[in-house]
């Protein structure tokens, strides 16, 4: 009876979950209206004439509906290259549609401005201002001549363009005086107000002056509508609910039937840019052309009423789509429930395994007999942290799939690590990997390695916390950034709790679960995108995208990424991480022998291969999704400028209710998986390489467990504090990871390489080689040494370190006569081990005979 009840409850829970998953998120603008608005802009660009075409194309570009704009206006340029002033509008569109050729079009517009007797000077100055170019920088002498001359349209637009330069306060005050002065010509006031609306930057006092001036102007006058628009768009945050702003918005709404095309277009843009969902009916009324305009007095030279009203409809379509883009999406209660249940489960796991740890060996190595498949999945989850989970899709969005070609080198990685590194580690059953360095090269090298490792892992954990919170949690959950510290403390606190309770067993167990969640989240994303497009082929790119740059095959340290660079960097990273990182070596030593350790590494590589391919596909999927549905991007966001935020944003807006929470839990899983491994391995190194070295007190097993738990707590708190400093590092996610997290990866492996593979390596030469490797890594990362790209930090710092250590060791032995080489120390250590730990006198005798 009870089992049947449990089955029924479980089935009911799944039915409820999938019912929630089938729900759609509410939207201010419905799909049908959105589709019609996009079609209106497309038709305006294709079928209308001249400036209506320009406006429609610019609206498309500003909304990221870029399809067809470049092709259409290249044809317009070929056809109308000599037509004034329309050619200026054509060049302005092309400067925005073709970033690679932007400078050439800017120069064409600039030449039109510099032609004192040309017909296009005013339009050229206006276009340069709209494009964000400063005439004060492009043509300083001519600009000075204009702004010291008569106040006319050329004067206003030239002055506006100088707001893009360094000294803007004086120009803004001049424009403000022109816009607010009722004695000035109406057209001059209109143009000045339009410039202020476009740029903003008001003080609280200036904003109130603009708002009140707009309200006091005669209703429907051209200066009034632009002053009101400027007041609405640039209202200070503290005045968003003020009575005066309410008056401004009402005054704009009342003008939706004004007999002026310019007024109607400005109202549509203002309400779309800074309005609220309540303004949608006014925008729809403009879009539906409920009160058509007559063109006689409005647009001299145009004899088609359709063209005049098409301009208004295009502006209304833009306003509707802008309002759509400004909608805020949030997670449903079902999403929060999934995340909360997951976090509670992690705490439960820690409590369960805390009862099974009886000694330090249980805590740090899981007793030394853990399942190799489980340990392999744990190693994968550790190395593929939330940094990778978030940065890989962003990397492929912005730079293409080149970085993922690195998986082709995995067979070579498996062979080198499995047959050259793992057997050497398994010969020495140590708790800390850095005991190997002391055996072969002395205490100083072990201490240096400990410093490298701790620096690496503290920076790594701090970066995980920072990026997980700032890039994922704030974006997915829509939490106010002021709660960042509280969220970071909560994330780290839960991780510390279950890690310090359960030790490596808890880490491995949760890593296995989290591996499944990670892969499941990626697969769910691919399924949802495929369903949205109707098929896999519909979103998979059929050609190399232009913004990815040129595909290059060879190895070039001065290129950010080539196929050769990706292969080399991937090989060096896995070699260095597997051959020097306590987190990797710790998992090898947690298995029974070299064969099972090799199996562990193979499972890790295979799983990483699958998930990297999945994450690469996720990057392509979200790129296609937001390219096709740019209304989910906030104003000002594009797929290239906000590449790192696309995957977290898709989790919030693209996945069904309930599934969003599951994938969000996957990202938390990735973060906590890596943090838990970092806590365990870092506290292990501190305990074995620092505390036990400098303190000789023995502890009972119970006190040992309390000590290591307290140590893990200290490590977690320190990493949390360090995360507050990561925001100072510049670059996108992938660059930050390489600069900060990978800074010590190669230098650390330099020490192990010399200790394991260079028989004549000496301690002091290795010490200098390690420092030299760090120095070159820092020089490349933060000072662009020799123009070497940051993604080449790993191979260059490894090569420099190994070469420097080898040469210095050779000179140390041959010229300085140093006999304390790796080969000699390793041989003597083997002799000591033959006597056993308890045979003190034999060890002493041997020490005398060997001169130690």
**What is the per-residue pLDDT across 111-158, written as a single tens digit (0 to 9) for each?**
999 999 999 999 999 999 999 999 989 999 999 999 999 999 999 999
Structure tokens at 438: 């002391």
Which of 198-207, 356-365, 623-632, 816-825 has the weakest average pLDDT? 356-365
Whether 539 maps to a domain, the answer reads: yes
Which residues of 115-226 form beta strands (DSSP E)?
A: none
Whether 849 maps to a domain, the answer reads: no
What does the pLDDT read at residue 165? 65
To 10 degrees, the CA torsion angle through 693, 694, 700, 702?
-90
Residue that finishes a domain, picked among 167, 198, 227: 167
Whether 609 maps to a domain, the answer reads: yes
Q: Which residues pair with 821 in a beta bridge?
A: 762
Distance CA 393, CA 47 (A): 38
> Is residue 177 very low, low, confident or very high in pLDDT (cuts 50, 70, 90)?
very high
What does the pLDDT read at residue 642? 84
Stretch 755-775: mean pLDDT: 92
Q: Is the pLDDT of residue 88 over 90?
A: yes
Distance CA 149, CA 642 (A): 43
In the three-class reduction of DSSP (H, G, I as helix; E, B as strand; rest coil), residue 676 is classed as: helix
Whether 206 maps to a domain, the answer reads: no
What does the pLDDT read at residue 76? 94
Distance CA 57, CA 60 (A): 5
Report the greatest alpha carbon distance in the chain: 112
Is the separation of the CB atoms in 440 and 756 below 8 Å? yes
| Nearest by Cα to 283 from 305, 256, 263 | 256
Helices (H), 25-99: 31-47, 50-62, 69-80, 86-97
3-state secondary structure 192-223: HHHHHHHHCCCCHHHHHHHHHHHHHCCCCCHH
Whether 807 maps to a domain, the answer reads: no
In the three-class reduction of DSSP (H, G, I as helix; E, B as strand; rest coil), residue 762 is classed as: strand
Stretch 359-382: mean pLDDT: 50
| Nearest by Cα to 500 from 371, 374, 675, 723 | 675
Highest mean pLDDT pick, 2-6, 234-238, 321-325, 375-379: 321-325
Whether 120 maps to a domain, the answer reads: yes
Q: Which residues pair with 32 in a beta bridge?
A: none
Within 10 angstroms of residue 526's Cβ, the number of other Cβ atoms is 18
Whether 251 maps to a domain, the answer reads: no
Which residues contact residue 428 at a Cβ distance below 8 angstroms, ignoring those fewer than 6 apart?
435, 436, 439
151 Cα distance to chain centroid = 47
Distance CA 298, CA 800 (A): 72
> Is residue 460 very low, low, confident or very high in pLDDT (cuts 50, 70, 90)?
confident
Distance CA 657, CA 729 (A): 35
Q: Is the pLDDT of residue 677 over 80?
A: no
Q: Is the pLDDT of residue 785 over 80?
A: yes
Residue that finishes a domain, picked among 167, 192, 210: 167
Mean pLDDT of the chain: 80
CB-based burial label for 757 (10 Å; 0-12, 13-18, 19+)? middle
Sequential DSSP letters for 277-333: GGGHHHHHHHHTTSSPPP-TTTSTT---HHHHHHHHHHHHHHHHHHHHHT------H
User: Buried (b) or exposed (e) across 397-413, using 16+ Cβ within 10 A?
Assistant: bbbbbbbbbbbebbeeb
Distance CA 442, CA 821 (A): 10
Q: Is the pLDDT of residue 702 over 80?
A: no
Q: Is the pLDDT of residue 384 over 70?
A: no
Whole-angstrom CA distances from 617 to 528, 541, 573, 645 are: 13, 11, 22, 16
Whole-angstrom CA distances from 240 to 31, 231, 234, 235, 738 are: 29, 11, 10, 6, 42
Residues in the chain, overall count = 852
Whether 473 maps to a domain, the answer reads: yes
Q: Considering the entire predicted model, what is its pTM?
A: 0.76
Is the separation of the CB atoms in 492 and 720 below 8 Å? yes
Of all residues in the chain, the percent with pLDDT exceeding 90 is: 29
| Nearest by Cα to 382 from 211, 586, 114, 571 | 586
Q: Name the one residue in this structure whose structure tokens are 């360095």.
A: 437
Parent domain of 155: 68-167
> Is residue 696 very low, low, confident or very high in pLDDT (cuts 50, 70, 90)?
low
Structurally, the chain folds into a number of domains equal to: 2
Within 10 angstroms of residue 35's Cβ, the number of other Cβ atoms is 11
Q: What is the DSSP letter of 483?
A: G
Q: Which residues pair with 716 in a beta bridge?
A: none
Within 10 angstroms of residue 536's Cβ, the number of other Cβ atoms is 13
Looking at residue 646, which CATH number applies to its domain?
A: 1.20.1730.10
Distance CA 684, CA 689 (A): 8
Distance CA 346, CA 197 (A): 52
Whole-angstrom CA distances from 84 to 59, 78, 123, 132, 816 are: 22, 14, 9, 22, 81
What does the pLDDT read at residue 707? 64
What are the backbone dihedrals phi and psi of residue 821, each rounded to the nearest 5 degrees, phi first?
A: -90, 170
Stretch 36-57: mean pLDDT: 93
Which of 88-92, 216-220, 657-661, 789-793 has the weakest average pLDDT? 657-661
Which residues contact residue 400 at a Cβ distance below 8 angstroms, ignoring those fewer than 6 apart?
544, 545, 548, 549, 551
Distance CA 569, CA 655 (A): 34
What does the pLDDT read at residue 7? 44
Which of 245-254, 347-356, 438-447, 643-652 has the weakest average pLDDT? 347-356
Whole-angstrom CA distances from 761 to 406, 754, 829 are: 31, 6, 16
Which of 298-302, 493-497, 555-559, 601-605 has the weakest average pLDDT? 298-302
Residue that finishes a domain, picked among 709, 729, 749: 729
Distance CA 394, CA 826 (A): 46
Distance CA 518, CA 388 (A): 11
Distance CA 610, CA 532 (A): 24
């Amino acid at each position: 009876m009870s089992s049947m009840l449990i089955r029924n409850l479980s089935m009911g829970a799944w039915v409820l979950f999938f019912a929630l998953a089938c729900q759609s998120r509410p939207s201010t603008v419905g799909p049908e209206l959105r589709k019609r608005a996009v079609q209106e802009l497309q038709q305006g660009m294709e079928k209308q004439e001249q400036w209506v075409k320009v406006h429609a194309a610019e609206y498309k570009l500003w909304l990221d509906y870029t399809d067809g704009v470049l092709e259409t206006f290249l044809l317009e340029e070929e056809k109308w290259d000599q037509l004034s002033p329309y050619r200026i509008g054509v060049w302005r569109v092309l400067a925005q549609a073709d970033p690679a050729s932007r400078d050439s079009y800017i120069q064409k517009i600039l030449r039109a401005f510099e032609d004192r007797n040309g017909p296009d000077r005013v339009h050229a100055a206006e276009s340069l201002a709209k494009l964000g170019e400063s005439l004060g920088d492009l043509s300083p002498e001519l600009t000075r001549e204009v702004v010291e001359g008569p106040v006319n349209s050329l004067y206003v637009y030239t002055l506006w363009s100088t707001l893009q330069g360094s000294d803007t306060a004086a120009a803004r005050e001049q424009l403000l005086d022109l816009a607010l002065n009722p004695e000035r010509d109406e057209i001059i006031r209109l143009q000045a107000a339009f410039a202020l609306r476009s740029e903003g930057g008001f003080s609280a006092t200036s904003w109130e002056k603009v708002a009140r001036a707009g309200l006091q102007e005669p209703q429907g006058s051209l200066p009034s509508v632009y002053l009101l628009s400027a007041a609405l768009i640039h209202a200070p945050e503290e005045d968003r609910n003020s009575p005066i702003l309410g008056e401004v918005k009402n005054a704009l709404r009342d003008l939706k039937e004004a007999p002026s095309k310019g007024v109607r277009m400005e109202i549509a843009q203002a309400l779309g840019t800074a309005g609220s969902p309540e303004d949608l009916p006014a925008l729809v009324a403009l879009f539906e052309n409920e009160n058509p305009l007559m063109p006689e007095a409005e647009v001299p030279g145009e004899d088609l009423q359709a063209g005049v009203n098409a301009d208004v409809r295009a502006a209304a379509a833009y306003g509707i789509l802008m309002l759509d883009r400004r909608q805020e999406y949030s997670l449903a209660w079902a999403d929060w429930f999934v995340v909360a249940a997951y976090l509670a489960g992690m705490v439960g796991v820690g409590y369960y395994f805390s009862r099974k740890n009886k000694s330090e060996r249980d805590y740090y190595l899981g007793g030394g007999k853990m399942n190799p498949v489980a340990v392999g999945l744990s190693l994968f989850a550790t190395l593929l942290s939330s940094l990778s989970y978030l940065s890989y899709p962003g990397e492929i969005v912005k730079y293409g799939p080149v970085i993922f070609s690195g998986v082709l080198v995995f067979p070579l990685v498996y062979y080198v690590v499995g047959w050259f590194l793992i057997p050497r580690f398994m010969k020495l059953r140590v708790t800390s990997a850095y005991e190997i360095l002391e055996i072969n090269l002395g205490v100083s090298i072990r201490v240096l390695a400990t410093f490298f490792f701790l620096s690496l892992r503290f920076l790594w954990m701090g970066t995980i916390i920072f990026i997980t919170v700032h890039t994922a949690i704030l974006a997915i959950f829509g939490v106010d950034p002021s709660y960042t510290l509280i969220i970071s403390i909560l994330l780290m606190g839960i991780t510390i709790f279950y890690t310090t309770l359960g030790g490596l067993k808890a880490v491995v167990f949760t890593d296995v679960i989290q591996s499944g969640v990670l892969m499941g989240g990626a697969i769910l994303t691919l399924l949802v995108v495929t369903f949205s497009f109707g098929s896999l082929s519909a979103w998979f790119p059929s050609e190399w995208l232009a913004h990815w740059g040129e595909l290059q095959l060879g190895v070039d340290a001065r290129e950010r990424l080539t196929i050769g660079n990706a292969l080399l960097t991937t090989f060096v990273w896995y070699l260095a991480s597997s051959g020097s990182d306590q987190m990797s070596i710790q998992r090898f030593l947690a298995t029974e022998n070299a064969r099972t350790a090799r199996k562990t590494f193979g499972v890790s590589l295979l799983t990483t291969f699958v998930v990297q391919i999945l994450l690469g596909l996720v990057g392509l999927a979200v790129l296609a999704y937001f390219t096709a549905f740019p209304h989910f991007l906030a104003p000002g966001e594009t797929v290239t400028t906000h590449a790192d935020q696309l995957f977290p944003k898709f989790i919030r807006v693209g996945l069904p209710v309930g599934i969003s929470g599951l994938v969000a839990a996957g990202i938390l899983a990735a973060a906590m998986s890596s943090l838990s491994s970092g806590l365990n391995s870092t506290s292990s190194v501190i305990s074995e390489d620092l505390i036990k070295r400098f303190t000789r007190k023995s502890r009972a097993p119970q006190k040992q467990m309390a000590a290591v738990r307290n140590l893990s707590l200290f490590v977690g708190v320190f990493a949390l504090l360090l995360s507050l400093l990561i925001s100072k590092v510049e670059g996108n996610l992938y660059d930050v990871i390489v600069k900060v997290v990978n800074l010590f990866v190669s230098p650390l492996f330099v020490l192990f390489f010399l200790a394991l593979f260079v028989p004549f390596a000496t301690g002091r030469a290795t010490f200098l080689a390690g420092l030299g490797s760090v120095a070159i890594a820092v020089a490349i990362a933060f000072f662009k040494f020799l123009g070497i790209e940051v993604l080449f930090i790993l191979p260059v710092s490894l090569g420099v370190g190994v070469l420097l250590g080898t040469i210095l060791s050779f000179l140390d032995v041959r010229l300085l006569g140093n006999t304390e080489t790796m080969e000699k120390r390793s041989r003597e250590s083997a002799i000591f081990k033959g006597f056993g730990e308890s045979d003190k006198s034999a060890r002493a005798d041997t020490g005398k005979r060997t001169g130690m």
